[in-house]
Chains A and B, each alone.
Chain A
Amino acid sequence: MSEKKYSKKHEWVSMEGDVATIGITKHAAEMLGDIVFVELPDKGKNVEKEGQAGVVESTKAASDIYTPVTGEITETNQSITKDPSAVNKDPEGASWFFKIKIKNKSELDELMNKADYEKFAKENSN
């Protein structure tokens, strides 16, 4: 898989061919706190860049998950809907959210690299 890219809405993207694996960042998982519910998009659904593509809930509140790229949902990670707390344990590894067959690879150029994201996250955490 390719080096991860990061969005301003705290999702990460990893590419393999034209399929993007997407999840939420470690920083996002920490900010959300204990995750107790995950809702994922349906397989086969077409999603637009920055469109809503799922929900996570912590003990405190519900937050929307957005997709950083446009395309068709090819796979969803059902293990995190069964055990939402797994997202806190390994947000950037085993607890990915969904895979998208992407339409336009140039969208990836608008995303941040790890160092830039870390700087962004630090500046935007309260």
Chain B
Amino acid sequence: MNTQKTALYDYHKSLGAKFVPFAGYEMPVQYSSGIVEEHKTTRSNAGLFDVSHMGQLLIEGNEDLVTELEKIIPTDLKKIKLNQSKYSFLMNEQGGIYDDLIITKVEKGFGIILNAACKNNDFKIIKSALGSKFKLTLYNNLSLVALQGPKSSEILEKIIKGISSLKFMNGNKFSYNNKDIYITRSGYTGEDGFEISIPNELVEDFAKKLIAQGVKPIGLGARDTLRLEAGLCLYGHDINESTSPIEANLKWAISKRRREEGGFVGYGKIKSDMNGSLARLRIGVKPEGKIIAREGVKIFSKDNEEIGLVTSGTFGPSVNQPIAMGYVKLNFSKPGTKVLLEVRGKKHEANISELPFYKKNYVR
């Protein structure tokens, strides 16, 4: 398979990016200042992330579309307001997750942001679930950039007037160089910020304006440490086709009406998980020392019973200690529970922790 490049590839290169292949794309993993510095800059100032590899899908339709989409996506699409965004999932028959996504009600129907590695498969699944009744467009002429951090609003307002009045998980159409762009106040770092959907031919010019305002470019490395500190799941690691949203501790993302009424693919598993058959839960873990427990590390109880697995782990630059997420048997999931992490054959003491590790600064 040929590796694809985003419209910002040359610009990343000029900014000193180191690239890695990710989901079929050549993506910047870090720039010259390094992951820790990029991470801290995002928490204290503002960082620019190229997330153009992610899928931008538009599904056009009205009430009929709401009915059909609700069969595969467990959020309340009847209640969602124009320009409102929700974090949700594309569900499979077993109650597992094909993908996690952000769905936004737009004038023509729904806009959905999909993970890069899943987007083509998602498209097929959605297409076959909806039939030929609705028009689906997976855009390759649009870029997607995220501006994240406490200074995001102040900086973006200088370039796009009116942006600072957006509320978290809400979006709107704006104009840039006389072209329509769509901006939502959202992100995946645990910070206030925006995601900007913009035509490919304008994205470099737009990115340069942000960099000129003191914004720093941020690579996938810091994106991972930021989302992990914020307790957010990485698809294919913390959630996948065999984890239910309830096991993944993402019950909040299934609207109340949908939890009660069901009527979507995989509801059987969701319902039984909510009614006492839940066997494992996604948790945070903090090692007591400096040891880093990465994906695949086994979790043991203090009596040496194997109780689960780490699904992602790193060093959290803002919390200044190693952090991890994983799944453990339900009766070991209470924050404060002492556990052991087996790293390179040795067991290390750790504690089940509340998520997120880092408190959010969202503007609501």
Closest to A57 in B: B292
Closest to A55 in B: B344
Q: Does A36 contact B (CB under 8 A)?
A: yes
CA distance A84 to B289 in the complex (A): 13
Encode B98-124 as 1/0 by CB contact (under 8 A) with A: 000000000000000000000000000
Partner of B225, one of A57, A59, A62: A59
Q: Are A57 and B315 in contact (CB under 8 A)?
A: yes
Q: Are B322 and A36 in contact (CB under 8 A)?
A: yes
CA distance A37 to B34 in the complex (A): 16
Partner of B35, one of A34, A37, A39, A81: A34
Q: Are B291 and A37 in contact (CB under 8 A)?
A: yes
Q: Are B35 and A59 in contact (CB under 8 A)?
A: yes
Partner of B221, one of A33, A36, A39, A62: A33
Q: Give the interface SS of chain B, mostly helix, strand, loop or mixed.
A: mixed
CA distance A85 to B320 in the complex (A): 12
Q: Are A60 and B292 in contact (CB under 8 A)?
A: no
- Closest approach, in angstroms, between the C-beta of A125 and any C-beta of chain B? 10
Q: Are B344 and A37 in contact (CB under 8 A)?
A: no
Once A59-B35, A59-B225, A62-B292 are accepted as A-B contacts, the answer to whether A37 and B30 lie under 8 Å apart by CB is no
Encode A54-97 as 1/0 by CB contact (under 8 A) with B: 01011111100000000000000000010011000000000000
Chain B interfacial residues counted at CB < 8 A = 18
Interface size class of A (residues with CB under 8 A): 10 to 19
Q: Are B34 and A34 in contact (CB under 8 A)?
A: yes
CA distance A19 to B294 in the complex (A): 35
Partner of A33, one of B34, B292, B294: B34
Closest to A88 in B: B34
CA distance A58 to B39 in the complex (A): 14
CA distance A57 to B287 in the complex (A): 15
Q: Are B221 and A37 in contact (CB under 8 A)?
A: no
Q: Are A62 and B294 in contact (CB under 8 A)?
A: yes
CA distance A85 to B317 in the complex (A): 11
Q: Are B225 and A81 in contact (CB under 8 A)?
A: no
Q: Are A81 and B315 in contact (CB under 8 A)?
A: no
Q: Are B315 and A36 in contact (CB under 8 A)?
A: yes
Complex contacts, A34 vs chain B, CB 8 Å: 34-37, 315, 317
Within 8 A of A (CB), among B258-311: 290-292, 294
- Closest approach, in angstroms, between the C-beta of A96 and any C-beta of chain B? 19
CA distance A84 to B292 in the complex (A): 12
Partner of A84, one of B29, B35, B290, B294: B290
Q: Does B314 contact A (CB under 8 A)?
A: yes
Complex contacts, A57 vs chain B, CB 8 Å: 292, 315
CA distance A33 to B32 in the complex (A): 10
Closest to B32 in A: A30
Partner of B322, one of A37, A39, A58: A37
Q: Are A33 and B35 in contact (CB under 8 A)?
A: yes
CA distance A39 to B37 in the complex (A): 23
Q: Are B322 and A60 in contact (CB under 8 A)?
A: no
Q: Are A81 and B314 in contact (CB under 8 A)?
A: no
Complex contacts, B30 vs chain A, CB 8 Å: 33
- Closest approach, in angstroms, between the C-beta of B28 and any C-beta of chain A? 13
- Closest approach, in angstroms, between the C-beta of A53 and any C-beta of chain B? 13
Q: Are A37 and B294 in contact (CB under 8 A)?
A: no
Complex contacts, A37 vs chain B, CB 8 Å: 290-292, 315, 322
Closest to B222 in A: A59
CA distance A81 to B290 in the complex (A): 8
Within 8 A of A (CB), among B6-43: 29-30, 34-37, 39
Complex contacts, A58 vs chain B, CB 8 Å: 35
Q: Are B290 and A60 in contact (CB under 8 A)?
A: no
Q: Are B36 and A59 in contact (CB under 8 A)?
A: yes
Closest to A60 in B: B221
Once A33-B30, A84-B290 are accepted as A-B contacts, the answer to whether A59 and B322 lie under 8 Å apart by CB is no
Complex contacts, B34 vs chain A, CB 8 Å: 33-34
- Closest approach, in angstroms, between the C-beta of B74 and any C-beta of chain A? 34
- Closest 6 pairs between A and B when the two form their complex, measured CB to CB: A36-B315, A34-B36, A59-B35, A57-B292, A34-B34, A37-B292
A-B contact pairs, 7 of them (CB 8 A): A33-B30, A33-B221, A34-B317, A55-B344, A59-B315, A60-B29, A60-B35
Beyond the given pairs A34-B315, A37-B290, A37-B315, 13 more chain A to chain B contacts, judged by CB atoms under 8 angstroms and listed by A's residue number, are A33-B34, A33-B35, A33-B221, A34-B36, A34-B37, A36-B292, A37-B291, A37-B292, A55-B344, A59-B36, A59-B315, A59-B317, A60-B29
